Structure 1
């Protein structure tokens, strides 16, 4: 192997760990098992890996600046993704410009245009809405753009995600297996592709496979805020639902507290599964059962893909789909 070009990917592959783990070891993060750490350090020594040497932009003393568009800085899901992006960016000594797009399509377009006007060398886009205007801007951009935790139905942009259809399907099937026949679907705006064409699709598929009727009265769409979840709890309680799949943790926390305050006992009277396994799932009482996804890795890998594109390298796989799971806590029986 050409020592000059040893990358974090090579170290991860040789050590049999994720790229994010290598990043944590390199950055002295204590959150790594000792045995794993030793294995990674041995590989680093063996391959003579130097994080700085990888940043070939340094040779030309050119400062590389990356724009990161985040729909809501306060959302735990996106802030966890951003940590992965930031760690890899600092390994490469890239500057980051973080821009908040407030969950709105028009603002996302404006924020992207502003970043491109600042001559950023690349963009990591995390947003829930990719409309035609935004797509056109992606196509005309001089800088490469990678999506992290954002879905592009047309697969035109390189992206890192989990399989949201299958993950939702598995969550709903779990509620069906627990004996529920009337399951609410609670999510953000259904104009957003991730909700309508991925999560809702998985929900419908799970019901169909279980021989259950799809009932539009059990679909509740709002926005991703705690207060919205709290307010919608009354409607969910007054419906025939006995369980809910929720597309966002803050929304799920609001729903849980709204139901509890209204005298509904979770999980005895009503079960809930949420989607992102952010810290919020452990802050609530009872703690929320959730789909798990490697958010840090999603950010780290998206950033690594961007570094390759900025160096005019080919991507081995432009669409990366990472594994997910379901972690059982106390909002399911």
Structure 2
């Protein structure tokens, strides 16, 4: 049978109010009494009812996190940053995978809010009007983590995706490349897709280079789509000499497609991307990429959320973290 606070009080020979004060770390309990209560808790195997305590305090010390794809290593690093800061401030995390499906994201958001979480982190993915409507029903703070809403109304922590892509393509231009293909994410995605495409386009136009539809193909952020799109580029009569991929995973797929066709990186094709996942330094040649500070995005998002949950003063609710180019072995001069 479930052990109750009444059982602990009887075992320790104190009132239920005293047990409650001990469990909730109230300082107004004598050390000797506190010791008796903890000994009774250990003997009986009592576990405080977090739901009941939450109802009483109107806080569950729990934060919901919506993650778009739990199998993608880049999101695991963000989640690590979230969890480390959550532990520091004594919050528990409920992590929910949404499979990059809008309907599932909306359902998960509503489920977490029904669970009476104290705050919510929405990680990645496109923020649509349906998401905004779901967020509006929330009575607790919500922070966008690694993404932003179109009108920049929600608190958020991210990088400047357009600037990251711009810097990557300018590096290729600086190495003498004039025919640069792009493996893009969906242009409906404002961050990893559209913003990175805009950065690619801006870098070419500022360098006096034309933007050709034949040089841009849409992938789904994963390895297989990078491989397939690179096969398309390889079959062009006027092939690019360099590839900018919107994600490392697609870039690695492109590298392997090049190698499987008997060609070399960077001798025949230069490849650059954005993210800096662990695999970027494991592939051969090692991948030159624009690093997102993924751990920091998670950590800063969680810290911002704790401030909002505790009604602390927040000077900046829309945070842009810096990115940096990590030069490795996949880009060469032509």
Q: Please state which band the TM-score falls in when normalised by the shorter chain.
A: 0.7 to 0.9
Aligned position for 1:38 = none
Whether the 8 Å contact between 1:76 and 1:278 is mirrored in structure 2 is yes
| In structure 2, C-alpha distance between the alignment counterparts of 1:166 and 1:222, rounded to whole Å | 20
Aligned position for 2:273 = 274
Q: Is the aligned partner of 1:141 residue 2:145?
A: no
CA displacement 1:212-250 (0-9 Å, x = unmatched):
011111111121221222222211212321111111111
Q: Is the aligned partner of 1:316 residue 2:293?
A: no
Q: State the shift of 1:328 in Å.
A: 0.6
- What secondary structure does 1:275 align onto? strand
Q: State the shift of 1:63 in Å.
A: 3.5
Q: State the shift of 1:151 in Å.
A: 2.4
Aligned position for 2:282 = 283
Of 194, 197, 201, the match for 2:194: 197
Give 1:35-54 correspondences, 5 Å limit.
Answer: none
TM-score (norm 1): 0.80
Give 1:90-101 correspondences, 5 Å limit.
Answer: 90-101=87-98
Q: State the shift of 1:127 in Å.
A: 2.1
Q: Is the aligned partner of 1:177 residue 2:174?
A: yes
| In structure 1, C-alpha distance between the alignment counterparts of 2:178 and 2:209, rounded to whole Å | 7
| In structure 1, C-alpha distance between the alignment counterparts of 2:282 and 2:111, rounded to whole Å | 37
Whether the 8 Å contact between 2:183 and 2:218 is mirrored in structure 1 is yes
Gaps spanning 5+ residues in structure 2: where? 1-53
CA displacement 1:126-152 (0-9 Å, x = unmatched):
122111100111122112111111122
Q: State the shift of 1:293 in Å.
A: 2.0
Q: State the shift of 1:166 in Å.
A: 1.0
Q: Is the aligned partner of 1:131 residue 2:128?
A: yes
| In structure 2, C-alpha distance between the alignment counterparts of 1:217 and 1:126, rounded to whole Å | 32
| In structure 1, C-alpha distance between the alignment counterparts of 2:304 and 2:272, rounded to whole Å | 32
| In structure 2, C-alpha distance between the alignment counterparts of 1:277 and 1:222, rounded to whole Å | 18
Of 215, 218, 223, the match for 1:221: 218
Cα pair distance change 1:151/1:236, threshold 3 Å: farther
Aligned position for 1:112 = 109
Aligned position for 2:25 = none
| In structure 2, C-alpha distance between the alignment counterparts of 1:61 and 1:111, rounded to whole Å | 21
Q: Is the aligned partner of 1:256 residue 2:267?
A: no
What's the Cα RMSD here? Answer: 1.5
| In structure 2, C-alpha distance between the alignment counterparts of 1:141 and 1:258, rounded to whole Å | 46
Whether the 8 Å contact between 1:104 and 1:129 is mirrored in structure 2 is no
TM-score (norm 2): 0.79
Q: State the shift of 1:121 in Å.
A: 0.9
| In structure 1, C-alpha distance between the alignment counterparts of 2:194 and 2:219, rounded to whole Å | 16
CA displacement 1:166-214 (0-9 Å, x = unmatched):
1110100110111111111112222211144311111111011000011
